[in-house]
Chain A
Amino acid sequence: MSIPLVMSLALKEWVPALDLFIGMLSCFVFGAVTRLTCRTDETASWLVGMVTVALAWLAAMVMGAIPLMLSGHFGSFLDACFDTMSGLATTGLTLIQDLDHLAYGTNFWRHLLMFLGGQGIVVVVLTFFVSGSSRAVELYLGEGRDERILPNVVSTARFIWVVSLVYLVIGSLVLWVTALQAGMPPAKGLFHAVSIFMAGYDTGGFTPMSQSIIFYHSLWFECATMLVMFLGMINFAVHYAAWTGNRRELAKNVEIRTLGVTILLTTSLAVIGLAHLGVLPDAVALFRKGFYQIISGHSGTGFQTIYGRQFITQWGSLALFATIIAMGLGGSASSTSGGIKAIRVHISARSIWLEAKRLILPPSSVISEKYHHIRERTITHDLVRGVLIVTGCYIIAYLAGALVITMFSDYSLTQALFESTSACGNVGLSCGLTNPAMPSTVKVVFIIQMWAGRLEFISVFMLIGFLVALARGK
Chain B
Amino acid sequence: MPGTRSSTGTGRAVAAAAALLMTGCCLLLAWSLLPGPARAAGRTVSSTELIEHPDKYNGRRVAYEGEAIGEILRRGDNAWLTLNDDPYRHRPRREYQELKGGNSGIGVYGPYAEASRITRLGSYDSLGDLVLVEGTFFKANPEQGGDLMIEFDTLTVLRKGHAVNRNHIGAKPVVAAALLLASAALAWMWWRSRKRLVG
Contacts and interface: CB of A to CB of B under 8 A. Distances in A.
> Do A and B form a real pair?
yes
Interface of A: 13-15, 18-19, 21-22, 25-26, 28-29, 32-33, 35-36, 70, 72-75, 96-104, 182-185, 188, 209-211, 214-219, 279-282, 284-286, 288-289, 306-307, 309-310, 313-314, 435-437
A314 B84 contact: no
Nearest to B172: A18
A32 B185 CA distance: 10
Nearest to B164: A101
Contact of A32 (B70, B79, B190): B190
A97 B107 contact: no
A211 B102 contact: no
A101 B88 CA distance: 9
A32 B187 contact: yes
A35 B103 contact: no
Contact of B102 (A29, A33, A97, A104): A97
Given A36-B186, A210-B102, A215-B82, A101 B124 contact: yes
Contacts of A285: 140, 142, 145-146
B51 A101 contact: no
A13 B165 CA distance: 10
Nearest to B147: A217
Contact of A72 (B164, B168, B175, B187): B168
21 contacts: A15-B172, A25-B180, A25-B183, A29-B183, A72-B97, A75-B99, A97-B93, A97-B99, A101-B122, A101-B124, A103-B124, A184-B73, A211-B82, A280-B140, A281-B142, A285-B142, A289-B140, A309-B51, A309-B52, A310-B51, A313-B52
B71 A100 contact: no
Contact of A70 (B74, B82, B172): B172
Contacts of B141: 281
B58 to A, nearest CB: 11
A279 B58 CA distance: 12
Nearest to B92: A101
A435 to B, nearest CB: 6
B132 interface: no
Nearest to A25: B179
A35 B176 contact: no
A96 B99 CA distance: 10
A215 B109 CA distance: 12
Q: Which of B70, B84, B142, B182 has the most A CB atoms < 10 Å from its CB? A: B70
A32 B186 contact: yes
A94 B87 CA distance: 19
Contacts of B32: none
Contacts of B147: 214, 217
Contacts of A281: 140-142, 146
A280 to B, nearest CB: 5
A36 B148 contact: no
Given A22-B176, A73-B93, A36 B101 contact: no
Contacts, number: 163
Interface in B131-163: 139-142, 144-148
Nearest to A103: B124
Interface string B163-199: 0100111001101100110110011011001000000
Contacts of A214: 107, 147
A2 to B, nearest CB: 14
Interface in B61-117: 69-75, 79-80, 82, 84, 86, 88, 92-94, 97, 99-105, 107, 109
A436 B87 CA distance: 15
Nearest to A436: B101
Contacts of A15: 167-169, 172
Interface of B: 51-54, 69-75, 79-80, 82, 84, 86, 88, 92-94, 97, 99-105, 107, 109, 122-124, 139-142, 144-148, 164, 167-169, 172-173, 175-176, 179-180, 182-183, 186-187, 189-190, 193
Contacts of B73: 182-184, 216-218
Contacts of A288: 145-146
A314 B148 CA distance: 11
B144 A210 contact: no
Nearest to B167: A15
Nearest to A35: B190
Given A18-B172, A183-B79, A435 B102 contact: yes
B124 A102 contact: yes
A18 B145 CA distance: 43
A21 B176 CA distance: 7
Given A101-B93, A313-B53, 14 more contacts: A22-B176, A32-B190, A36-B193, A98-B99, A101-B123, A210-B105, A211-B82, A217-B109, A281-B140, A282-B142, A285-B140, A288-B146, A289-B146, A310-B148
A28 B184 CA distance: 10
Given A32-B186, A435-B102, A22 B69 contact: no
Contacts of A13: 124
Which 3 residue pairs across A and B have the least CB separation, nearest first?
A: A285-B146, A183-B73, A25-B179
A415 to B, nearest CB: 14
A33 B186 contact: yes
Contact of B80 (A25, A33, A183): A183
Q: Which of B142, B144, B179 has the most A CB atoms < 10 Å from its CB? A: B179
Contact of B179 (A22, A70, A280): A22
Nearest to B143: A281
A370 B166 CA distance: 65
A183 B116 CA distance: 14
Q: Which of A19, A183, A286 has the most B CB atoms < 10 Å from its CB? A: A183
B176 to A, nearest CB: 5
B146 A314 contact: no
A98 B190 contact: no
B189 to A, nearest CB: 6
B156 to A, nearest CB: 22
Nearest to B94: A101
